[in-house]
């Protein structure tokens, strides 16, 4: 009986210490996580609202939760370029969160950016992958392999000798703007009614990721969720008088 009481007390103490440790870690990292989430959302706003100058402006009250806020973006001339909001939906194995930008008339999508997802590796995760067009030659020498004319004198001079300075500066060159994943790119200029899954390539619809139809549908649902938030704030309700 005495041992049973000791085990109970020990287990209780361990549970309390574990709870205290988890709570402490959460309190210590809470602000850091919040700042990181803000940075990710801010970066996404500049992606989905290309041409955005300065900071995006909130069009929702400050007390609104972060995931429900709607923003508008202005260009350098002060003209409205569009609206943006976050959307989310349940995917195959995770909650998928996206940032969506629309044109001022709320007719077409300007761009989307996936903020968070934890789908099946090699399948659903392809929604954030950029298809590489690089070859071994372009990776090593920084240029594409060109067709060689065997009758030309230049054909016997290897490109590496022709551009020694470029090779010396390899890795120090200015980085080019990275392209967006093909899956996200296809949402550009789509209307709300075109957010339909297609298992074959279709320019008028959203081509599904091979083997990840559920994840594809989830992204579409998340995009629709974001657009609905924008419409709910920006559009003036139309009342019917009967």
Percent of the chain surpassing pLDDT 70: 69
Q: Exposed/middle/buried for 30, CB within 10 Å: 0-12, 13-18, 19+?
A: exposed
pLDDT of residue 75: 93
pLDDT at 29: 63
Dmax over Cα atoms in the chain, in whole Å? 98
Residues with Cβ within 8 Å of residue 179, at least 6 apart in sequence = 130, 185
Among 124, 113, 63, 125, residue whose Cα is nearest residue 85: 113
Q: For the chain, which residues make up each domain, given as ranges?
A: 2-130+178-234, 135-177
Q: Which two tokens stand for residue 170?
A: 């390899």
Cβ atoms of 31 and 50 within 8 Å: the answer is no
Q: What are the residues facing 109 on neighbouring strands?
A: 102
Mean pLDDT for the stretch of residues 49-61: 91
């Amino acid at each position: 009986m005495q041992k049973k009481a000791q085990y109970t007390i020990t287990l209780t103490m361990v549970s309390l210490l574990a709870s205290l440790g988890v709570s402490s870690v959460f309190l210590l990292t809470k602000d850091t996580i919040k700042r990181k989430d803000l940075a990710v959302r801010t970066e996404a706003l500049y992606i989905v609202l290309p041409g955005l100058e300065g900071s995006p402006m909130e069009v929702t009250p400050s007390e609104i939760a972060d995931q429900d806020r709607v923003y508008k973006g202005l260009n350098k001339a002060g003209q409205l370029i569009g609206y943006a909001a976050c959307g989310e939906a349940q995917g195959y194995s995770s909650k998928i969160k996206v940032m969506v930008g629309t044109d001022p008339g709320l007719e077409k999508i300007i761009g989307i950016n996936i903020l968070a997802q934890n789908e099946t590796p090699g399948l659903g995760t392809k929604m954030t992958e950029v298809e590489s067009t690089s070859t071994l030659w372009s990776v090593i020498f920084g240029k594409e392999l060109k067709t060689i004319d065997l009758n030309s004198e230049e054909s016997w001079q290897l490109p590496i000798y022709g551009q020694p300075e470029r090779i010396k500066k390899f890795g120090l060159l200015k980085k080019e703007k990275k392209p967006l994943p093909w899956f996200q790119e296809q949402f550009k200029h789509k209307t709300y009614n075109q957010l339909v899954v297609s298992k074959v390539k279709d320019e008028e619809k959203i081509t599904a990721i091979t083997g990840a139809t559920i994840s594809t549908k989830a992204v579409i649902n998340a995009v629709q969720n974001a657009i609905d938030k924008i419409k709910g704030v920006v559009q003036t309700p139309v009342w019917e008088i009967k």
